[in-house]
Structures are given as structure tokens and as C-alpha cells.
Structure 1
Amino acid sequence: MTTRDAPSERTRWTIHGERPVDENPHIRLSIAHVELPNGVQFDQYVIRIPRCVMTAVLDDAGENILLIWRHRFIIDQWDWEVPGGYADPGEDPAAAAAREVEEETGWRPKNLEFALSFQPMIGSADAPQDLYIARGADLVGEPHTDEAEAVRWVPLHEAQQLIASGKILGAATIMGVLQAITARAAAPPHTA
């Protein structure tokens, strides 16, 4: 196997224009006219979505993760997810992450830390996603109506099995569970 240097800037695609198809506060759909470095041209649908924030909330011991059970009509499937949603324009992403947890679960996260940013559909969409990890949470109320069918603290080993069985499908939730498992494995053992 050979290693190659990163391609130079001359190999970038050229965008000859982008025209909107539809737009609202949560999504912009457009068609971009693209030219490859070899001269081939085509039209590409482009989706642009505002920043979303998700939080993997662990209990104080780091053994359980807070998940919500939702039906996602787009794929017509129920799945377990970490809480999350859109950051409002100008809103601090960490504050948005904490707000979403509380709205969707009734739990207020403690010790919120930024974990990573990712793009879940980088070939078709600009949809920045931030994942936070919270260690500990206080029950402060009930979830907002229609946010989740159920809210549950799930043992991390069970959450890993839910990924394997297709009961956890969302990229942020999968990354949150795996981040939590990795952090737990790297932590020094508890002494009583």
C-alpha cells in the first residue's frame, strides 16, 4: 500500500452556481451546478441544515446513558436516541445542548463537555452536528409533550447491544454511546 500526499488545491471541484429549491428556518434545499477537475459537469442537490446539538448524558457513576424512545416517520421506525435539536441563531451551542436535554427528558445535565463535531451526510448535506457529554443530571420536571414516548436510563452494555440490534440508528447516539464506553474503559477503577 502506498501513501499519497493530500491533493493540491487545483483538484477542487468548481461550483458554477447554486439555486434555491426550498428554504425554511430548519433546512435549505438547493441545486448546485458542479464541475469536476476533469471538466465533467453535473447538477447536485445540496441540503444545508443549521447546527444541531446532541448530548450523551451519563449518570454520576458513568454506567448508564439517558435515552429517549422516538418514532421517526421518515424511516418509519422507532429508535432510542440521545436528546438533541437545533441551536437557535446566536445561541451558545453548549447552552442549547443543555436546554434540549431538559426539554426532551426533564433532566438537567451537569458537567457538560464538548466531545466532537461531525457532518453526518457530508456528500449531500452541510449539517453540522455537535456532540456533548454530560456526567450527571438532576430531575427537574417532565419532558415537553410530544418530545419522546419514553425516557430511560440505559446501561451502557445494553446500549451497545441496542446499536447491534438496530434499535439505535442515529449517528450522534451511536457516537455518544461509543464515546461513553471508551471513556469508562480509560477511567481508573473506582475504589470504595
Structure 2
Amino acid sequence: MGVEPKRASEWIIHGERVIDDTRRAVLGIADVELPDGVRFEQYVLRVPSAAMVIVLDDDERVLMLWRHRFIMDRWVWELPGGYLDPTEDPMACAAREVEEETGWRPRSMERLIAFQPMVGTIDQENVVYLARGADFTGSAPDINEAERVGWIPLDEIWQHIEGGRIIGAGSVSGLLAVLLLKATGEL
């Protein structure tokens, strides 16, 4: 197999140096060149992949976490999920995170959507799964993860997005995908 030829609008990467390397992120600076010859440095953040789950119950309610995000100093609703360990299966990670964070064990799960949240700066694949139903394990949710766990009616999700109470890229992307499936009768 040959190498694909360079396209006219493709940037050239002359190198990348690491600024900081931690367990959860590698921050670097890439030396890049635009197609017109302009050369500059661009910050690059490489973060482990993440997996999250939309748990939908029989009453079309979504299992969500009410949590504080210190970076923005805001309280928001989010889907349960987390970073993948290097060799972890994304679906196994997603199911584990739901149970640890909420005390609910998802039943059947299927891959819904995958995306990169900020393709110009960050490399981090996010995978969102759809679980139909969950069983309560009797475990209390992790206090470090959320103040409370709630079941939000699917019909109210758009109001929460529009009102700024659901703002995370994973939660918004996944929930919009579910709303689209519902609107087209595919849910």
C-alpha cells in the first residue's frame, strides 16, 4: 500500500515537543506550516479517550449527574462516563463508570456516536453509548463525582441544553443524537 499524496490544503507538521506529560494529558507544541508557507507553533493537548452512557429507562428518562465543574465554577447535568484505561474496552469502561458514579448498572448497551470535542487543539476520542434500562445496585453514588443523580425526562433535555444546564460536549452530542433518533422514529 502506498502513502496518500499530500493534499493542497493539508498542513505540514515539522515536529512536536512535549511541554508537560501526566497520566491524564500530554501538552505539546507543534511546529506547523500552512499551505501558503506561513509557519507557526500550535498548542496540542492529547488526552485519553473517554466513554459515556445515555441510560434511558422505560419512561424515556435519562440518568444524569448534577455536578460542579470547578474550571467554569458552574453546576451542570452530565452523563456518567470517564477516561478509558490504556487497554480498556470502551463499552466496558462506560458500563463501569455508570455503576461507579450512579449506583445503577446499565442493561443492554449499543454504540451511539463517537466524536472529537475540539479538533483544532485536542486529540481525544469520545464514545457515547445508549443503554436501554438499568438496575439499581443499592450502592450509593460516588460523592466525588456528583452531588446527586437524577432521571431527566427526555422531553425536557432540550430545555436543559438551551438553558445552559447541560453544556458538556459529550452530553450535548449524545443527547442530541438520541433526540434525533426519537424525532425520526428510530428510538
- TM-score by structure 2 length? 0.92
**Mapping for residues 47-66 of structure 1, pairs under 5 Å:** 47-61=45-59, 63-66=60-63
Alignment pair present for 1:139 and 2:155: no
Alignment pair present for 1:45 and 2:43: yes
Alignment pair present for 1:180 and 2:178: yes
Q: Distance in 1 between matches of 2:96 and 2:58?
A: 19
Alignment pair present for 1:103 and 2:106: no
Shift of 1:126: 0.5
1:34 aligned partner:
32
1:11 aligned partner:
9
1:76 aligned partner:
73
Q: Distance in 1 between matches of 2:176 and 2:9?
A: 35
Shift of 1:142: 1.6
Q: Distance in 2 between matches of 1:48 and 1:188?
A: 35
Shift of 1:25: 1.3
Q: Secondary structure at the match of 1:151?
A: strand
Gaps of 5+ in 2: 1-5
Name segments (4+ residues, structure 1) moved above 4 Å: none
| Number of corresponding residues | 182
Cα RMSD after superposing both structures = 1.7
8 Å contact kept, 1:79–1:169: yes
Q: Secondary structure at the match of 2:51?
A: strand
Q: Distance in 2 between matches of 1:124 and 1:82?
A: 23
Alignment pair present for 1:88 and 2:85: yes
**Identity over the aligned pairs, expressed in percent?**
51
Q: Secondary structure at the match of 1:136?
A: strand
Gaps of 5+ in 1: 1-7
1:150 aligned partner:
148
